[in-house]
Amino acid sequence: MRTYHCFWLLFWAGQPHQSFLTPLSKRTSGFPEKEKVLILSGNSRRDLHRSKRSWMWNQFFLLEEYTGTDYQYVGKLHSDQDKGDGSLKYILSGDGAGDLFIINENTGDIQATKRLDREEKPVYILRAQAINRRTGRPVEPESEFIIKIHDINDNEPMFTKDVYNASIPEMSDVGTFVVQVTATDADDPTYGNSAKVVYSILQGQPYFSVESETGIIKTALLNMDRENREQYQVVIQAKDMGGQMGGLSGTTTVNITLTDVNDNPPRFPQSTYQFRAPESTPPDSPVGRIKANDADVGENAEIEYSITEGDGYDMFGITTDKDTQEGIITVKKALDFENKNLYILKVEATNTHVDPRFLYLGPFKDSATVRIQVEDVDEPPVFSRPAYIMEVKEDVPINSVIGTVTAQDPDAAKNPVKYSVDRHTDMDRVFNINSGNGSIFTSKPLDRETLLWHNITVIAAEINNPKQSSRVPVFIKVLDVNDNAPEFAMFYETFVCENAKAEQLIQTLSAVDKDDSYSGHQFSFSLAPEAAGSSNFTLQDNRDNTAGIFTRKTRYNRHEMSTYFLPVVISDNDYPIQSSTETVTIRVCACDHRGKLLSCNAEALIHPTGLSTGALIAILLCIIILLVTVVLFAALRRQRKKEPLIISKEDIRDNIVSYNDEGGGEEDTQAFDIGTLRNPEAIDDNKLRRDIVPETLFMPRRTAAARDNTDVRDFINQRLKENDTDPTAPPYDSLATYAYEGNGSVAESLSSLESVTTDGDQDYDYLSDWGPRFKKLADMYGAMDSDKDS
């Protein structure tokens, strides 16, 4: 009891309000305590005398999670003004008043109606007051008090995550940090050990351990190997009450993965590999694949393959397939079964990412032997050279051999070979080849000046198997021989002034030669023998492949001789010597005293090989004037064109209107006059053209009537002539109809249609005289006459 009164005394020392405590002997279940009474003071502002100090009480304590059947008793309010006669009424207000907490208004007893949970609300603040029941006025000032909820251990520790995931490298040292787990307890950490959590490991030993206070998980076993086991599942428990008996606990799962390190070297599953490769395998083609196994993963399992030694070191290569980590053996050079049919290689596999910490485990590489057997295949013939270059002079006779190509079968059978020229490369068939020995010869004359190089292709094929063939280019160069005479570099036509002086240079000549000269061309110039003595001009060879023409006399007269033709002989110095005679045209012209050309007898030689500028301008002006005249004439003709009366939609020249109408025959006389077609003498004198406006009214011409029994050809010719000379004929093409049936026959018409037009009776007796073919007709019409008589 001494401790209990001291506890209240401490609260009294720290509270400003006066309150009094009356302990009772009543207990509540779950926690023993004395009955608590809150004494309301009776002092007022008007009472100036000092009142007796009593014990002060302004807070109550309740246990949470009350499980009794009755309401939980909290405490009692009491005023010193209460005489016990029921004149006072106690009122409670604040947190949960009237719902969670109720008060007996007569006695002041406070009770809790529901179970309280400290984790939901640990403190309730309420206000108490006593009022006069009759007047409703307070007899005491309102006092505030607190109800605190005492905690019990009703919450287990909860981890922040249901599942933790962590990873560490394999082969880690003992005590390596893995992950830290954390659990929280909702109970009051300031009251007892309800919220004191301790960690322990339930599953995962002996591989891992956990620190009891911090929840840090560490490795507990040395050299854990991922290749043996990669995944671990650890169960961690968090228990309150400091881990003591009766404490609540919670668990979580930690999934721990061992990550890979390069602690395993590559290893070939077998020591020797064998492959086969046909000798026709092209370079860079794969022969086979090998693979070294590595227990590691990712970049730690990456392998680099190489050929370290062997007799096929230069013939084969190896690369790494990054996706499958396989070594691909490829051909580097062409294989030849006849030369070598077996290669032995030593292949090495090495890790590209080596961890120095694990070098003590041994070298991270392995080697294996690869045997490659070359298989024989039927190969095409092989030429002795990849290309041939031949030379031939252009003057060689036809069928001259210029060179030989050689090819042979590389197989052991040594099948015979035949040769041919690919005619797509020799369309003119200038060359041919001996199919047996491969000698190439000419079949047509050659000309270096026409074509210097001939590029042909020779085909070599096995006789027993023509599909096995190969090709080789042959380049034939045509060598030059001196077979072309030199000639002037251009056409020379010059002039000499009438007042020229003797020994005056009037023209410099040069020459060219189509032939090729290795030491350079050397030309000599001279006058032709027939002109050497009687010429009015002289020729001087300059010894530099040029020559000059000089005058021999002082004056020339263009009226006596207007043009001179000077023959010049040009020779080369090659073997055999070739020469040609060229002619220089020299015109005599009038010049001024300074030698400037004024005029010549035939034409001004401003441009010796063409027209002068003035002549070209004059011709151009004439053409322009002619074009302007033609355009103006066409425009005038268009203005004078007759304007049609018929609009474009009805113009008979532009539209064809189809009337699918059949006439009524000869009885239909309203449509047209059929007699006009039968009688050429019938003509409408007043018919004029209706599609144009007549400018001059031409009197219609009366055409002469055709004679009786006239020939149809004469009739047509006559009508054609009349239309050609008709001034009223249209200016465009039109259709003229010349229908003529003649003047009729002697028997006249046999039609019965005209018989209805006569009023008199017809006599058909003459039909009987026409023979048996008309007997039926005579009987029919004879019967009609007899009917009329009856």
Domain boundaries, given as residue ranges, for the chain:
59-150, 158-259, 272-375, 382-479, 487-599
Whole-angstrom distance, CA of residue 317 vs CA of residue 345: 10
Q: 781's torsion region: left (phi>0), alpha (psi -120 to 50) or beta?
A: alpha
Structure tokens at 644: 């049609």
Whole-angstrom distance, CA of residue 414 vs CA of residue 381: 9
Q: What is the pLDDT of residue 231?
A: 95
Whole-angstrom distance, CA of residue 726 vs CA of residue 593: 72
Percent of the chain as helix, strand, coil, to the nearest 5: 15, 35, 55
Whole-angstrom distance, CA of residue 252 vs CA of residue 432: 96
- In this chain, the answer to whether the domains covering 59-150 and 382-479 adopt an identical fold is yes
What is the distance of C-alpha 136 from the center of its chain? Answer: 96
Whole-angstrom distance, CA of residue 705 vs CA of residue 719: 11
> By CB neighbour count within 10 A (0-12 exposed, 13-18 middle, 19+ buried), where does 138 fall?
middle
- What SS3 class is residue 772? helix
> By CB neighbour count within 10 A (0-12 exposed, 13-18 middle, 19+ buried), where does 126 fall?
buried
Which of 445, 435, 515, 438 lies closest to 483, judged by CA?
515
Angle CA(638)–CA(643)–CA(644) in degrees, nearest 5? 130
pTM over 0.95: no
Whole-angstrom distance, CA of residue 600 vs CA of residue 589: 4
Whole-angstrom distance, CA of residue 487 vs CA of residue 571: 9
338 and 408 Cβ atoms separated by less than 8 Å: no
> By CB neighbour count within 10 A (0-12 exposed, 13-18 middle, 19+ buried), where does 383 fall?
buried
Could you identify the residue written with the tokens 């043009």?
563
Whole-angstrom distance, CA of residue 418 vs CA of residue 644: 85
CATH superfamily for 158-259 is Cadherins (2.60.40.60)
Mean pLDDT of successive 10-residue segments in the chain (790 residues)? 30 31 34 49 41 48 75 81 82 85 84 81 86 86 82 83 94 92 85 85 93 93 91 94 84 94 92 93 93 91 92 91 94 89 94 86 90 90 94 92 93 89 93 94 91 94 91 93 86 88 90 80 87 82 90 86 89 84 90 81 45 79 93 85 50 53 56 50 47 47 51 77 76 66 56 49 72 77 57
Sign of the Cα pseudo-torsion (288, 294, 298, 303, in order): negative
59-150: CATH architecture: Sandwich (2.60)
Tens digit of each residue's pLDDT (9 = 90 or more) over 636-672: 888 766 555 444 444 444 455 555 656 555 555 555 5
Give all strands of the β-sheet with 88-94 in edge-to-edge order: 59-63, 143-150, 123-132, 88-94
Question: Could you give the C-alpha distances from 499 to 45, 257, 504, 591, in angstroms and in order?
Answer: 163, 120, 11, 7
**What rounded mean pLDDT belongs to the chain?**
79
210 and 243 Cβ atoms separated by less than 8 Å: no
Convert 30-98 into a string of H (helix), E (strand) and C (coil).
Answer: CECCCCCEEEECCCCCCCCCCCCCCCCCCEEEEECCCCCCCCEEEEEEEECCCCCCCCEEEEEEECCEC
Q: What is the pLDDT of residue 603?
A: 45
Could you identify the residue written with the tokens 């307890």?
185
The one-letter amino acid code at 256 reads I
**Among 3.40.50.150, 3.40.640.10, 2.60.40.10, 2.60.40.60, what is the CATH number of 382-479?**
2.60.40.60
Q: What is the pLDDT of residue 698?
A: 43
Question: Could you give the C-alpha distances from 61 to 11, 72, 364, in angstroms and in order?
Answer: 13, 11, 74
Whole-angstrom distance, CA of residue 376 vs CA of residue 341: 8
What is the distance of C-alpha 631 from the center of its chain? Answer: 56
Q: What is the Cβ-side half-sphere exposure of residue 542, based on CA atoms within 13 angstroms?
A: 13
Q: What is the pLDDT of residue 576?
A: 82
Q: What's the CATH class of domain 272-375?
A: mainly beta
Convert 177-242 into a string of H (helix), E (strand) and C (coil).
Answer: EEEECCEECCCCCCCCCCCCCEEEEEECCCCEEECCCCCEEEECCCCCCCCCCCEEEEEEEEECHH
Q: 621's torsion region: left (phi>0), alpha (psi -120 to 50) or beta?
A: alpha
Q: What are the two backbone dihedrals, phi and then psi, of residue 509, each rounded to the nearest 5 degrees?
A: -105, 150
Q: What is the pLDDT of residue 12?
A: 29
The distance in angstroms from the start CA to the end CA of the chain is: 179
The fold of 487-599 is: Immunoglobulin-like (2.60.40)
Q: What is the pLDDT of residue 258?
A: 94
Which of 39, 129, 22 lies closest to 78, judged by CA?
39
Tens digit of each residue's pLDDT (9 = 90 or more) over 285-338: 999 999 999 999 988 899 999 999 998 889 999 999 999 999 999 999 989 888
Q: What is the pLDDT of residue 303?
A: 93
Q: What is the pLDDT of residue 759?
A: 45
Whole-angstrom distance, CA of residue 578 vs CA of residue 482: 7
Q: What is the pLDDT of residue 470?
A: 94
Q: What is the pLDDT of residue 200?
A: 93
Which of 492, 488, 493, 482 lies closest to 581, judged by CA?
488
Strands 388-393 and 469-479: parallel
345 and 307 Cβ atoms separated by less than 8 Å: yes
Question: Could you give the C-alpha distances from 131 to 109, 136, 254, 451, in angstroms and in order?
Answer: 15, 6, 64, 140
206 and 157 Cβ atoms separated by less than 8 Å: no
